[in-house]
């Protein structure tokens, strides 16, 4: 399965993750005891390499730090285990310098060898870590991932506190890649300790982050601040629900300080509390054109289809308050986001759609098209609405529903036509959206878009050492891309949670996590 297939599976379940919306609820004891009580649907694993779902990522983000991290408000890259980094002028060689005094929660100093072990563990053959493809830029990744090399050649450790990366191509956003929670640094001796007698690392890990494992029961995970961490909290109590509704109900009864809102309850919360605090999540829904088919080769036909479909009405009537409309590829909340990258070409305009069809086909018959989607009820409703919009301008569209398992393969088979496409950006850079989906020949480029001018724009953005100029270059590339309309943007998912009145300074990032060490509890 390509990375696109994997994230499509996640995107279907990610309409609810996490953001902060204040309410009047108080905690169970009604006392400011310094314990932040949060509720989550039970995480699958506490091993950062295995983190796949929002609950997993939120917990491992408290237990582990990577070389870098993100400012929760802006998603700008900031130091974590690495205190600083530098690159060669061509953006192909990067050196990260570890923070003096950085330790694991067992007290052992973190070294460059630990960083190398952490990343090689994710990248090696047989790893099922969803983060592995993000290490592809490192020299030797393919050989190592296929088991043809004993080490990942592009990672070296010239000193105990220095990690050097040699990349196969320029990538100015490489520090952003390494900040994702899945790349939290782990100690080899704890990961490989025989279990039993040692507890399984995925259940009781030794971490590198601001909090450390304290105890665990069937329903509660307790964390305490790691040594030397400055925080106003005395600890975290994470209540593990069997479903997303359990912690939400506990929050409404005043037993929790923070929880995610189940998807089916979002509209209820919007009616009762409004949308205050809802945040964009970097998961998006598009409909892609299979550009290898002759019927979609002319951009006028693609534009007519996009202009015929009332995307805002689809979002409003089918999704309610659970998603937000989008008109580009780079997700809102990510540095470099543009509010309307598609411009006028994505505007709902049936008369213009008819004019484009007349200009292209004249008195000839307009080709029929197929709308391909997985058999989720929401996607059935979206496709049905699109079909009606297209019929109104003279385009006959047939609905082709596929079982979810079959769709993952079908959508990259070359037989798809106008097809549902979901994507989650793996790191906060336009590169995480534009390059994998649209750079010529990439495995996740399932539309078949290929344009040498666009490719050159992406390379220029990746080679640009100045962050501001790099973002500007990506913005130019996105507008150029959307002028070609390889996809029709539909919606961006959001994060939705509730926080009690006593919670202060809980800042959610666009990736659905927060730094609990910054949180205060009052009154």
Burial (CB count <10 Å: 0-12, 13-18, 19+), residue 521: buried
Domains parsed from the chain with CATH numbers: 15-55+209-278+496-523 (3.40.190.10), 279-495 (3.10.105.10)
**What backbone phi and psi angles, to 5 degrees, belong to 103?**
-135, 160
Q: Is the dihedral of CA 311, 316, 322, 327 positive or negative?
A: positive
User: What token pair was written down for 213?
Assistant: 């494992």
Reported as a single tens digit per residue, the pLDDT across 449-472 is: 999 999 999 999 999 999 999 999
pLDDT at 276: 67
Burial of 141-153, coded b for 16+ CB within 10 Å and e otherwise, reads: beebbeeeeeebe
Q: Are 111 and 158 in contact (CB under 8 A)?
A: no
User: Residue 307: which H helix or E strand, with range?
Assistant: helix 299-308
Interior CA angle at 90 toward 89 and 91, to 5°? Answer: 90
pLDDT at 263: 85
Distance from C-alpha of 115 to C-alpha of 484, rounded to nearest angstrom: 42
Q: Are 326 and 283 in contact (CB under 8 A)?
A: no
User: What crossing angle do the helices spanning 452-463 and 467-484 adopt, rounded to 10°?
Assistant: 170
Residues pairing with 358 in the sheet: none
Distance from C-alpha of 127 to C-alpha of 99, rounded to nearest angstrom: 28
Reported as a single tens digit per residue, the pLDDT across 269-306 is: 888 877 766 889 999 999 999 999 999 999 999 999 99
Burial (CB count <10 Å: 0-12, 13-18, 19+), residue 175: buried
Distance from C-alpha of 262 to C-alpha of 18, rounded to nearest angstrom: 10
pLDDT at 87: 98
Residue by residue, DSSP assigns 361-380 as HTTSPPPPEEEEEES-HHHH
3-state secondary structure of 62: helix
pLDDT at 423: 96
The dihedral region occupied by 146, where left means phi > 0, alpha psi between -120 and 50, and beta the remainder, is alpha
pLDDT at 277: 62
Query: For the chain, which ranges sit under pLDDT 50?
Result: 1-29, 31
3-state secondary structure of 518: helix
Q: Which residues contact 477 (CB under 8 A, 6 or more apart)?
A: 430, 434, 454, 457, 458, 461
Which residue in 457, 126, 417, 409 sits closest to 287, CA to CA?
417
Which residue in 489, 449, 441, 436 sits closest to 4, CA to CA?
436
Distance from C-alpha of 8 to C-alpha of 14, rounded to nearest angstrom: 10
pLDDT at 474: 98
Distance from C-alpha of 84 to C-alpha of 345, rounded to nearest angstrom: 43
User: What token pair was written down for 447?
Assistant: 């539309």
Distance from C-alpha of 77 to C-alpha of 5, rounded to nearest angstrom: 27
């Amino acid at each position: 399965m390509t990375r696109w297939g994997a994230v499509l599976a996640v995107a279907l379940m990610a309409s609810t993750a996490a953001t902060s919306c204040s309410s009047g609820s108080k905690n169970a004891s009604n006392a400011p005891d310094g314990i932040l009580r949060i509720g989550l649907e039970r995480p699958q694993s506490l091993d950062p390499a295995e983190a796949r779902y929002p609950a997993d990522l939120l917990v491992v983000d408290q237990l582990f730090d990577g070389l870098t991290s993100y400012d929760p408000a802006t998603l700008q890259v900031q130091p974590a285990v690495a205190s600083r980094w530098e690159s060669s002028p061509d953006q192909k060689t990067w050196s990260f310098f570890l923070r003096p005094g950085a330790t694991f929660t067992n007290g052992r100093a973190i070294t460059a060898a630990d960083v190398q072990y952490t990343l090689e563990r994710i990248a090696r053959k047989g790893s099922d870590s969803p983060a592995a493809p993000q290490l592809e830029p490192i020299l030797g990744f393919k050989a190592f991932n296929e088991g043809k090399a004993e080490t990942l050649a592009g990672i070296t450790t010239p000193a105990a506190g220095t990690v050097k990366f040699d990349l196969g191509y320029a990538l100015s956003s490489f520090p952003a890649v390494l900040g994702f929670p899945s790349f939290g640094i782990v100690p080899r001796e704890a990961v490989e300790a025989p279990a039993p007698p040692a507890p399984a690392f995925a259940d009781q890990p030794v971490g590198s982050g601001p909090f450390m494992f304290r105890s665990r029961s069937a329903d509660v995970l307790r964390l305490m601040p790691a040594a030397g961490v400055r925080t106003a909290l005395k600890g975290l109590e994470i209540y593990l629900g069997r479903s997303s509704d359990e912690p939400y109900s506990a929050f409404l009864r005043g037993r929790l300080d923070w929880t995610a809102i189940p998807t089916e309850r979002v509209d209820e919360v919007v009616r009762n509390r409004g949308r205050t605090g809802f945040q964009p999540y970097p998961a998006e829904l598009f409909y892609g054109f299979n550009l290898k088919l002759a019927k979609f080769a002319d951009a006028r036909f693609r534009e007519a289809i996009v202009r015929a479909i009332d995307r805002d009405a689809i979002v409003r009537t089918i999704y309610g308050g659970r998603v937000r409309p989008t008109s580009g590829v780079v997700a809102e909340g990510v540095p470099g986001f543009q509010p309307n990258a598609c411009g006028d070409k994505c505007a709902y305009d049936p008369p213009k759609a008819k004019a484009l069809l007349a200009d292209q086909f004249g008195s000839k018959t307009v080709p029929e098209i197929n709308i391909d989607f997985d058999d989720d009820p929401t996607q059935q409703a979206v496709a049905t609405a699109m079909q009606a919009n297209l019929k109104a301008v003279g385009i006959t569209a047939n609905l082709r529903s596929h079982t979810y398992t079959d769709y993952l393969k079908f959508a990259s088979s070359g037989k798809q036509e106008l097809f549902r496409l979901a994507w989650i950006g793996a790191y906060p850079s336009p590169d995480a959206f534009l390059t994998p989906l649209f750079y010529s020949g990439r495995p996740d480029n399932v539309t078949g878009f290929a344009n040498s001018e666009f490719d050159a724009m992406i390379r220029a953005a990746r080679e640009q050492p100045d962050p501001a100029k790099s973002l500007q270059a990506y913005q130019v590339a996105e507008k150029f891309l959307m002028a070609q309309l390889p996809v029709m943007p539909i919606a961006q998912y959001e994060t939705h949670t509730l926080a009690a009145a006593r919670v202060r300074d809980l800042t959610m990032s666009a990736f659905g996590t927060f730094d609990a060490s910054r949180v205060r509890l009052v009154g």
